[in-house]
């Protein structure tokens, strides 16, 4: 029916306007994600020309990485690692780093700062979505980020002086993967679920809200309209937040210390630090995934950029050791990881956590054990 005050208005309206209005996820993807993915991929092409004068790929090796790999393969690698890790609340680096070393055979020290390019950009795919969904509290992120700023510049020195050889470095990565595997498996046990009663109650309330939305014909994704992460107390000693009827309190010095330690370890390896930070915030503070992302995502971004600065500027200035990242390699992976992380954040609630975490726990555990075993006994196959 035409608008009586302006005949012909409806017939002239863009045919896609109504479709996008009825599909908010598609609208968010086209508005937020597509521009980011295109820009990051374009920066990869620009970085390749500026750093090498050509675009490496399947025919010509990436000079710093020393590997030949098609660009689509790097984007695909970023996508699936970003997606799987976003579902369990972590950045893609903890999967893309071992894949780069074992499958693509990128084993020089530069793999760590190159991986930090991905972990820096990877969370932006989910960051806008979480911000729009009000999963945002700068006070929760602040003290963790201060710890990351203090700790992450130290990690590259450990990487260069104690973990420069690929075999011991992979062994350390193996320990990290095994730690992550154990944590994922523990989360599927009845013992863990009993200890996280508050999280289970929060999840049950969330599930009821989703069922009500479906019954009303609405999209089930997203948090309640009244959801907020509110700061109730803020000082240099203690931080208290509340969200949807729940209340949590944190020691500020402890948060800085956690950020400091995780920052050192993560920047030395070239990962975002979620593999340590997420279990700490879940197990010791009882934060649900919908809340802890307000602290972990800014933390990963800050850690990655300060670690990158240390690898590219601080380390060469103080030691004369140059470990430049392969910028184009990292940016191409990041282009896929941005999309994967966003998609993971949107589908997280529709995937059975028990089976997913069991599967990821088994894969990471096996790879971790092989990495550690290879340090003591050289395996008969490449790992």
Q: What is the CA radius of gyration of the chain?
A: 22
Structure tokens at 358: 């069991």
Give the 3-state secondary structure of residue 377: coil
pLDDT band at 255 (very low <50, low <70, confident <90, very high): very high
Amino acid 206: pLDDT? 64
Q: Tell me if the pTM is above 0.75.
A: yes
The answer to whether the CB of 258 falls within 8 A of the CB of 281 is no
Domain ranges of the chain: 28-209+227-376
Q: In sequence order, what are the residues at sequence separation of 6 or more whose Cβ sits closer than 8 angstroms to the Cβ of residue 96?
A: 77, 78, 81, 115, 118, 333, 337
CB distance 247 to 232 below 8 Å: yes
Distance from C-alpha of 82 to C-alpha of 79, rounded to nearest angstrom: 5
Lowest-confidence pick of 12-26, 131-145, 239-253, 273-287: 12-26
236 burial (CB, 10 Å; 0-12 / 13-18 / 19+) is exposed
User: What pLDDT was estimated at residue 292?
Assistant: 85
- Lowest mean pLDDT across 10-14, 132-136, 347-351, 356-360: 10-14
Q: Report CA dihedral (253, 255, 261, 262) to the nearest 10 degrees.
A: -170
pLDDT, tens digit (0-9, with 9 covering 90-100), for 86-117: 776 666 788 899 999 999 999 999 999 999 99
Q: Quick check: 222 pLDDT over 60?
A: no
Tokens of 266: 């993560």
Q: What is the pLDDT of residues 229-254, one digit of tens each?
A: 889 999 999 999 998 778 899 999 99
Give me 236's structure tokens. Answer: 């240099």
Look at the block and give the residue holding tokens 């590997």: 67
Q: What is the pLDDT of residues 160-190, one digit of tens each?
A: 999 999 999 999 999 999 998 998 888 777 7
Structure confidence at residue 15 as a pLDDT band (50, 70, 90): low
């Amino acid at each position: 029916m035409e608008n009586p005050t302006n005949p012909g208005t409806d017939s002239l309206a863009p045919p896609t306007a109504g479709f996008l209005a009825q599909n908010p996820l598609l609208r968010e993807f086209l508005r937020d994600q597509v521009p980011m993915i295109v820009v990051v991929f374009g920066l990869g092409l620009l970085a390749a020309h500026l750093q090498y004068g050509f675009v490496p790929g399947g025919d010509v090796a990436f000079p710093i990485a020393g590997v030949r790999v098609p660009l689509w393969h790097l984007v695909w690698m970023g996508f699936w690692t970003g997606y799987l890790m976003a579902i369990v609340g972590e950045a893609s680096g903890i999967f893309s780093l071992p894949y780069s070393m074992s499958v693509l055979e990128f084993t020089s020290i530069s793999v760590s700062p190159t991986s930090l390019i991905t972990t820096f950009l990877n969370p932006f795919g989910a960051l806008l979505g979480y911000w729009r969904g009000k999963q945002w509290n700068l006070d929760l992120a602040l003290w963790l980020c201060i710890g990351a700023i203090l700790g992450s510049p130290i990690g590259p020195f450990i990487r260069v002086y104690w973990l420069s050889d690929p075999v011991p470095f992979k062994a350390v990565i193996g320990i990290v993967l095994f730690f992550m595997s154990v944590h994922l498996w523990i989360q599927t046990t009845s013992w863990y679920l009993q200890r996280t009663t508050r999280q289970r109650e929060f999840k049950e309330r969330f599930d009821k809200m989703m069922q009500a939305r479906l019954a009303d014909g609405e999209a089930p994704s997203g948090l309640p309209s009244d959801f907020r992460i509110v700061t109730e107390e803020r000082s240099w000693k203690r931080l208290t937040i509340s969200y949807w009827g729940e209340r949590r309190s944190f020691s500020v010095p402890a948060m800085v210390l956690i950020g400091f330690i995780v920052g050192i370890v993560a920047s030395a390896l070239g990962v975002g630090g979620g593999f340590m930070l997420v279990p700490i915030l879940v197990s010791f503070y009882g934060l649900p995934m919908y809340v802890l992302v307000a602290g972990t995502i800014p933390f990963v971004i800050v850690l990655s950029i300060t670690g990158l600065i240390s690898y590219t500027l601080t380390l060469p200035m103080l030691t004369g050791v140059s470990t430049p990242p392969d910028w184009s390699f990292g940016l191409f992976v990041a282009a896929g990881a941005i999309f994967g992380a966003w998609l993971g954040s949107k589908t997280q609630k529709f995937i059975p956590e028990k089976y997913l975490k069991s599967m990821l726990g088994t894969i990471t555990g096996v790879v971790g054990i092989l990495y550690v075993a290879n340090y003591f006994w050289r395996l008969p196959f490449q790992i």
